[in-house]
Amino acid sequence: MITAHAALKVYYSTAFSSFHRQSATVLTSDPYLCITEDNGAAVNNCGFTVNLLFSLPITDVTEGSKHTVTVQDYWQGTDSFSCYPYAYTGTESSSTIGAAMTFTGPSQSQSSSVKLASGEVTIQVICWEVPSSDGVAFITWH
């Protein structure tokens, strides 16, 4: 008996190639000047915490489709921070939020899933209050 399996399309990105800053507060200096790259990782070398946002293109935008995101934090970071996957429509002020991926030490990988609601067509991961000398190294999603 031959069994056919649909290929699972997995996407990969180094963090530095896909980050944006996300901030709900006014900052006194520009984080783009002090978030640096180390072998693909986006590393916070600012003297303050930063919120990092990662846009994750997806091809299956069917309502109810579930997407799993895995984040690996920086291999030299030692402080705690959390990342969440968010699914958005892009046309209203609501989103579907996945469970927290909480990091407490270097080189940890955490996963979380988010299921698309009606009209949601994009996924982003936001890592809140990433401490100085810490960061995000790698992201995969499917």
pLDDT tens across 21-73, in order?
A: 666 554 566 777 888 889 989 999 988 888 999 988 888 888 999 999 999 99
- Does the structure show a pLDDT above 50 at 3? no
Instruction: Please state whether the predicted TM-score (pTM) of the whole model is above 0.95.
Output: no
In this prediction, residue 4 carries a pLDDT of 39
Nearest Cα neighbor of 112 from 86, 74, 75 is 86
Q: What angle do CA 68, 45, 113 make, to 5 degrees?
A: 10
In this prediction, residue 59 carries a pLDDT of 83
Two tokens, residue 130: 């990433």
In this prediction, residue 5 carries a pLDDT of 38
In this prediction, residue 6 carries a pLDDT of 45
- Does the structure show a pLDDT above 60 at 130? yes
Report DSSP state, residue 23: -
On whether the CB atoms of residues 16 and 37 are closer than 8 A, the answer is: yes
Q: Structural domains in the chain?
A: 11-141 (2.60.120.260)
In this prediction, residue 132 carries a pLDDT of 92
- Does the structure show a pLDDT above 80 at 15? no
Residue 12 confidence class, pLDDT cut points 50, 70, 90: low
Q: For residues 110 and 17, which has the higher predicted lDDT (pLDDT)?
A: 110
